[in-house]
Amino acid sequence: MKKPAISVVIPALNEEKYLGKTLASLQKQDFKNFEVIVVDNGSTDNTVQIAKSYGARVFFEPRKGVPFARQAGFEKAKGKIIATTDADTILPRNWLSKIHQTFLKNPRAVAVTGFFDFYDSSIIFRILFFLLSRLYFLATNSFSGTNIAIKKEAFEKIGGFNFDYLVGEDTNICRRLKKIGKVIRNHSLLVKTSGRRFKKKGIIRSFWDYSYFFIWQFFRSDPPPTFSAASDLEKLSFGRSLDYLFLLTALFLFLKIILKINPAVARVAKMEEFFSSPKIHQLLPRLNQF
């Protein structure tokens, strides 16, 4: 049997309400030479049955955590390119074809990444998230595991995911991949995912959780400690100085955004569907006036 050009790896834990939509969007891809791998991380619902009903290869990973599940799926992948996303993400029809074409046009690339938007949130929430997330990802040079594709050869060369990073393993692996090749951020590679976690915690607290990971990397070289949420401040060793470090980091990001990032954000914004209205487009030029 011919090996697929691309393997799609999806970690899943009790995702019966969302996984079907993800797999259905993969069946509609205009690029057909691919396989789907779902890694069950200990589900107690119908996640496994749903995955099998869509023809996915299903594997079980007993170690709890997204890095372990992704690693297991990557190791089972047959494709030379391994794309990964989340079990609550809906992928555009040209997602895999864009990934494939990006690698073809950039032979030195070892990874291709993109952004994500929400499909189940209000327009105001989505606009706010759009602005904050692009500023965050670009300013901190971070990446999201819901929209990444990696050459298997490069993945194996760097030893796969670092299990010390139970949060931020996506950013960590992309930064390590940059040492052996080019990591391309394709601004037109956009997927739609569920905003359930952000809505539950609140967008500000959610970004604080992600900022924790960046703050730790900025001031320290060792992996961050294990925690259930970044707002578990008692698990940090910064003590009372954490507030000052956070303010310094926020100032650093603000200056970096003003001096460099804003024009890039404006260009990305023009690609978003929900920014297609005339009123929104009138606001976009203001992003470059800071």
Q: CATH second-level architecture of 6-288?
A: Alpha-Beta Complex (3.90)
- Domain positions in the chain are 6-288
Each residue of 67-111: pLDDT tens digit? Answer: 999 999 999 999 999 999 999 999 999 999 999 999 999 999 999
Whether the pLDDT of residue 32 is over 90: the answer is yes
Check if the beta carbon of residue 211 is closer than 8 Å to that of residue 121. no
Q: How confident is the model at residue 147 (pLDDT cuts 50, 70, 90)?
A: very high
Q: Find tokens 């090996």 and name the residue.
A: 3
The pLDDT score that the predictor gives to residue 196 is: 74
Buried b / exposed e across 228-261, counting CB within 10 Å, b at 16+? eebeeeeebeeeeeeeeeeeebeeebeeebeeeb
The residue among 274 and 75 whose pLDDT is bigger is 75
pTM over 0.75: no
Which range is most confident: 148-162, 195-209, 216-230, 231-245? 148-162
Query: Which burial class, exposed, middle or buried, applies to 42 when counting CB atoms under 10 A from its CB (0-12, 13-18, 19+)?
Result: middle
Buried b / exposed e across 174-207, counting CB within 10 Å, b at 16+? bebbeeebebbbbbebbbbbbbeebeeeebeebb
Angstrom distance (rounded) from CA 220 to CA 38: 34
Q: Which of 193, 99, 187, 209 is nearest to 149 (CA)?
A: 99
Each residue of 60-74: pLDDT tens digit? Answer: 999 998 999 999 999
Least confident among 3-7, 41-45, 275-279? 275-279
